[in-house]
Amino acid sequence: MVKVKRICTMQDLSCVGQCSLTVALPILSRYGIETCVLPTAVLSNHTQFRSWSYLDLTGEIPKIFAEWANSGIDFDGYVLGYLGKKELMELAVEMFDRFSTEGAPVVIDPVFADDGKLYSGFDLEYVEQMRKLIARADIIDPNITEASFLTDTPYREDHGKEYAETLAEKLARMTNGVVIVTGVEYDGLIGELIYRRGEKEYVMLPKLDARYHGTGDIFTSVMSAHYFAGAELGYACRQAGAFVAECMKSTDDGHFYGVSFERLLAKGK
């Protein structure tokens, strides 16, 4: 019998709203991966609502680590999303060092900015800490804005090939992992640039006239699921991009707090 891979995904949990752990857990599990979670915080609902409650779980994580060590738990890989604090990045590195099977890959979605701006509560010190964290990654998938901040490159609204490749080349100097720049746009298309060892591969789809919260989290989850199942990264990104597009098409316009990914999972997509 083939051993099922055990993956740990570390990010926050919103009780309402399709993002972060709320999408990562069901999607990774759907693809046959034993999915363990390390929640960094619990929110009543995600931050696209007018208000929300927030319970910081940073202080609980060392206790979780102690119990994992007592039980001899280890992981075959990691998927990291929204962290939000320097201390959580340090705990992520500790997790890699203490609980990894040999060669356990690390996938990091930086999640700190979009549309040319940092998210509320983030600053350039956080960006500097993220630069250190991605050095541990096997795959990173920042969006255009995050890539511009990480590389200290002025943000441009025209996300063409030349700009994307400049960002990818700079990111490749910061990590030995594969760089996937998401949100690249040209000729009415949107998608990803996969950059590894100087080789470039674009995975593009027609751009839809809609935007929803949490689609980046869904992309990372589906891409990671295929990757951990042994798929080539180009295929994994194509499947993830197509899944996100279908989610957007099947979501009611009034559903502002995420996309209806559950429908597609139910259909076996």
Does the CA dihedral 211-41-14-31 come out positive or negative? positive
Local structure of 185: helix, strand or coil: strand
Going by C-alpha positions, the residue among 30, 8, 26, 2 that lies closest to residue 226 is: 30
Q: Strands 77-80 and 6-14: what pairing? A: parallel
Q: When comparing pLDDT for 132 and 121, which is higher?
A: 132
User: Which domains are present in the chain?
Assistant: 6-262 (3.40.1190.20)
- pLDDT tops 90 at residue 239: yes
Residue 150 and residue 148: Cα distance in Å, rounded? 6
Edge-to-edge strand list for the sheet holding 106-108: 54-56, 34-43, 6-14, 77-80, 106-108, 139-140, 178-186, 189-196, 199-206
Does the CA dihedral 169-171-177-180 come out positive or negative? negative
pLDDT digits (tens, 9 = 90+) for 123-160: 999 999 999 999 999 999 999 999 999 999 999 988 78
- pLDDT tops 80 at residue 254: no
pLDDT digits (tens, 9 = 90+) for 72-115: 999 999 999 999 999 999 999 999 999 999 999 999 999 999 99
Local structure of 184: helix, strand or coil: strand
- pLDDT tops 90 at residue 49: no
Stated as kind and residue range, the H or E segment containing 204 is: strand 199-206
pLDDT digits (tens, 9 = 90+) for 170-218: 999 999 999 999 999 999 999 999 999 889 999 999 999 888 888 999 9
- pLDDT tops 70 at residue 255: yes
What is the chain's mean pLDDT, rounded? 94
In 10 A of CB 76, how many CB atoms? Answer: 19
Give percent of the chain above pLDDT 90.
83
Strand residue runs (E) in 5-159: 6-14, 34-43, 54-56, 77-80, 106-108, 113-114, 117-118, 139-140
Question: What pTM value is reported for the model?
Answer: 0.95
Instruction: Band the pLDDT of 269: cuts 50, 70, 90.
Output: low
Backbone angles phi, psi at 109, to 5 degrees: -100, 110
Does residue 7 contact residue 201 with C-beta atoms inside 8 Å?
no
